[in-house]
Structure 1
């Protein structure tokens, strides 16, 4: 499904061949891919788009590489508690991280340059098709583990004016789910995994539309996404209103 999205309106997908291969396994059971240069190039492309990143945990079999017993978000959280200040677009630093931590996933800190609208995969697939058919500019889009879709947008925050920030908590707490079923808005104080990332159970995070696409205003996508989420919730009736909201303790 993912590769088809890049072909709408003549926009051929640039997803590298290595993302289409199943991850190999290391001796300890953790996932990795042998194409180090391809992984590094994708991470640098995210940085070149202005999105700051920092290292995150990775899967070890079906567990998380962190030492937390019963980690609630295995392989999805930053390595450092200082991830907000650590996140960077500096190419030299990202190259060092990628080479020194070859199995690490990476997160991007939202709310400075970009936000992320995070929706159920089925709802996001419908919304993406509709947006592209309408000729609306859609930015980078990622499949996050086969159950969520991430729409990367420009931020609604304004770093020069602290009073104008939109805290992530306002958008993703369970009490707001009735108004926006299934939608999480990652802005200031939040993060998401960026491709390429591996998750427990041989799942992955991969680009459907790469970071070369300009970041749109989130409001140009919001109505279509909320409509798709509401339709999905009505058809399935199984969205958990108490689903975990990010970030979690890191």
Structure 2
């Protein structure tokens, strides 16, 4: 079953239902060849869901690494992924960046504006996530971090003037259907499909993303 979020600006966003975190993590490793690792999870109590890290001020309840050695823990093996999630089936699904993909991180409003512009330009997109923190992450080929500052300057912007970041080596993204506390679940703005298995280079998307972030200031 899928449902869509009303009121989105440029796309209807399907929300997965009935698929376990374990099954989804295994599928990401098996079908997309993405490294995955289990993060924290939500613990119910007193009518409130708290993060398993037990920090009452946790900024991303249920959606951040549970161990300091998370980068070494990440695996592209479906068998190992299944074994890890069998130990804690409520664990969030986190994907390390800087390996098979980097992610361009922008505000939700700019992300939807960029998506609409990219669709008009008939650009081929990779997967795009929309998280409850109101950020969108566009998956691109690794190495984007080294390119983005110069590309943004060529377009007439100072990199620090825009709310546009790159998640590369040493960072991660939360993958659907991971939940962020009471704020909801991470969803796909653009789903992983056979068509977008080959990711775009950041150079193909940066113009639309920079324009949208400039408009969103």
Per the normalisation by structure 2, the TM-score is 0.78
Partner Cα separation in structure 1 for residue 87 and residue 15 of structure 2: 22
Asked whether the 8 Å contact 1:53–1:87 carries over to 2, the reply is: yes
1:21 — aligned with what? Answer: none
Of the three residues 183, 188, 205, the one matched with 1:207 is 188
What stretches of structure 2 of length at least 5 have no aligned partner?
147-156
After TM superposition, the structure 1 = structure 2 runs for residues 103-122 of structure 1, keeping only pairs within 5 Å, are 103-122=90-109
SS of the equivalent of 1:116 reads strand
Of the three residues 37, 46, 53, the one matched with 2:28 is 46
Matched, 1:223 2:212: no
Q: How many residues align?
A: 196
Asked whether the 8 Å contact 2:103–2:137 carries over to 1, the reply is: yes
After TM superposition, the structure 1 = structure 2 runs for residues 67-216 of structure 1, keeping only pairs within 5 Å, are 67-145=54-132, 147-156=134-143, 166=146, 179-212=160-193, 213-214=196-197, 215-216=199-200
Deviation at 1:188, TM superposition (A): 1.0
Pair 1:52–1:180, CA change in 2 (3 A):
farther
Pair 1:199–1:129, CA change in 2 (3 A):
same
1:174-214: CA deviation from partner (whole Å, max 9, x where unpaired): xx986352212100111111111011114110112222222
The 10-residue stretch of structure 1 (49-58 or 207-216) with the greater mean CA deviation from structure 2: 207-216
Deviation at 1:38, TM superposition (A): 4.5
Partner Cα separation in structure 2 for residue 124 and residue 184 of structure 1: 12
Of the three residues 33, 37, 42, the one matched with 1:59 is 42
